[in-house]
Amino acid sequence: MRKVQIHCHRGDREGLRHLLEEEGKKGWYAEKIRNSWKVCLVRRREQTDEKARCRLVTCRSGPEGKWTGRFGKWSRQSGRPSGDGEFEAVRKSWEEKGWTFGCFFGCTAVFYGSERLEEGVRPVQGEEEKSLLLREESQLFVRLTAGGLAVVLLGALAAALFFVGRASRAEWEEFFLVLFTVWIIYSRFWALEAVLRPFVRRSIRLGKPLPAWVSFLSEESARAFLAVLTGGWAAGKLYVMGVTYQAAAMGAGTVLAVCCLLWLGIHFYKTGKPVPDFFSGALAVSLFIILLTAGFAWPSEGNYRFLVGKGGGSLYLKETAETVDALNTEDLGWGPWDSAYVRDNPSHYCLEERLTYTYFSDELAKELQEESSGFRFFSGGLASRLRYVGTLEGRLKKIDDLERFLRLKGLDLKEGEPVELVPEAKTWIWQDGRELVSLFKDGRVVIYFLNTWDERRFDLENSRERAGITRRLIEKTAAGRSEITSAGCRLSLAEA
């Protein structure tokens, strides 16, 4: 037995008949059509017969023990009960003509035969048949909607629990990865069916096949198109973050999805035949590459702000922390500090980019001890619980890239309020008071920031805090001048 996904819209009778007929030519007959819009096929012939034909016959009632009501699982409240002899008479009529009965679903019986055979009795025709088929299409759409709503409700419930529990960024990424996987691979595209439903119902009322472009917009083409959009966007974002290997992996999945989409269009418009099984496999591989990259190679680590990539940093404790030259809690008058974490970021807009986090005394050691003592679900991770003063330093390749660089960090320069701290640099502070950005004339950019969960703010009206930030910026100004002087000396020596 084989299970094949039906690559046509629910209610598209001609598309369904065409698919079953193509399988019938290979000797595979439909034994059951499932609610998930899959057909179970069994081998009836070993030889291929190009003259094999499939016919769909509409009936008011089904086989013994079934009712023509809700699709798949029949309801006694709708349709006529079996046992009135109509279906048995139809089956006998077609089998006497040499046709083979396949299966029954909804209000339709499937028969297989040859083009030279005469057809049997069709008990329902005209307006009554259209009415039954429209009702069947409505029942299919209701079931599709119920399945999609179930996924949405479960996702909303899980998101609410994650939000209430202050989940860490890593936990949020895993949650969205699972939700995205379920929605793309297993659930049905309700929006696609909803948009194209008027065309399907119109074809039933007119008794004509669907337009070619509507038939092409199947679930597989929608999955491929969505994979191209998400993969392309993610690959571009990874590239501007400076992580080229992850961008290449995401790009590979996107290219494979593009190939699947192009091949699907060429195959459909040239042959008009249903999608082969291996296409769904190739599409699943491309989705898997994209999802795998998104879940395990996306450049993030917990909730640490602005951190790109994983590992590679240095942790300074106690006396060694004093060697770290960065804005800290003592500069701001918030209390002592005793530890720092320093690491370099990959960067697209900067020649180099360095991050420094300085922590309040004893807080890092305490949190590390609690973290190692046991698993703390929905704790938000160390990054969300720790209070720190962060410093991001970089040198832009082009000063005009400042807005794009900040946008990559989740900051909109239009939301920043200009402030005067040092004459050599333009400075902005954001409305929430957790971010302060300074741009020097030589392209150096400095971002001072706090944890988004921290209740503290940068208060420039506080003389102690303003003096501490200003002193650090003056030191950056002096460091920039010394670099220019050193570069000029090296140039003069080279000319000499």
Under the banding of pLDDT at 50, 70 and 90, the label for residue 80 is very low
**Neighbouring-strand partners of residue 186:** none
Let me know: does 18 contact 110? Beta carbons within 8 Å: no
Which pLDDT band, with edges at 50, 70 and 90, does 318 fall under?
confident
How many C-beta neighbours within 10 Å does residue 272 have? 12
**Banded model confidence at residue 169, pLDDT cuts 50, 70, 90:** low
With 70 as the cut, is the pLDDT of residue 237 above it? yes
pLDDT at 111: 94
Share of the chain above pLDDT 90, in %: 19
Give the predicted TM-score (pTM) of the model: 0.56
Buried b (16+ CB within 10 A) or exposed e, 105-139: bbbbbbbbbeeebeebeebbeeeebbebbebbbeb
pLDDT of residue 331: 92
H/E stretch holding 73? none
CA-CA distances (angstroms) from residue 218 to 14, 192, 195, 228, 480? 14, 8, 12, 15, 59
Rounded CA separation 469/448 (Å)? 9
pLDDT for the residue 296: 60
Q: What is the per-residue pLDDT across 433-455, written as a single tens digit (0 to 9) for each?
A: 999 999 998 899 999 999 877 88
- Structure confidence at residue 232 as a pLDDT band (50, 70, 90): confident
The answer on pLDDT for 166 being more than 80 is no
Burial 420-451 (b: 16+ CB within 10 A, else e): ebbebbbbbbbeeebbbbbbbeebbbbbbbbb
pLDDT value of position 416: 92
Calculate the alpha carbon distances from 26 to 22, 43, 45, 53 in Å: 7, 9, 8, 11
Lowest mean pLDDT among 188-192, 223-227, 349-353, 400-404: 188-192
Sole residue written with tokens 């001609």: 14
Q: Give every CB contact of residue 31 below 8 A, 6+ residues apart in sequence.
A: 1, 40, 41, 42, 102, 103
Q: What is the pLDDT of residue 175?
A: 64
Band (pLDDT 50/70/90 cuts) for residue 365 is low
Of these ranges, 27-31, 247-251, 254-258, the one predicted with the greatest mean pLDDT is 27-31
pLDDT tens-digit map of 380-422: 455 556 788 999 999 999 999 899 888 888 888 999 999 999 9
Please report which helix (H) or strand (E) contains residue 5, including its range: strand 2-5
Is it the case that residue 106 has pLDDT exceeding 90? Answer: no
**Beta partners for 4?**
39
pLDDT classification of 462: cutoffs 50, 70, 90: very high
pLDDT surpasses 50 at 350? yes
Which DSSP string corresponds to 87-144?
A: HHHHHHHHHHTT-EEEEEETTEEEEEEETTSPP------HHHHHHHHHHHHHHHHHHH
pLDDT tier for residue 272 given thresholds of 50, 70 and 90? low
In the chain, where the domains are located:
2-124, 127-297, 314-493
Q: Strand 28-33 relative to strand 38-43: parallel, antiparallel, unpaired?
A: antiparallel
Tell me the Ramachandran region of residue 310: left when phi exceeds 0, alpha when psi lies from -120 to 50, beta otherwise: beta
Per the CB < 8 A criterion, the answer to whether 446 and 480 are in contact is no
Note whether 34 and 72 are within 8 A (CB). yes
In this structure, of 69-83, 152-166, 410-424, 475-489, the range with the lowest mean pLDDT score is 69-83
**Mean of pLDDT values over 357-372:** 70
Instruction: Report phi then psi at 145, rounded to 5.
Output: -65, -40
Q: Residue 460: what residue type?
A: L
Helical packing angle, 169-181 and 126-164, nearest 10°: 170
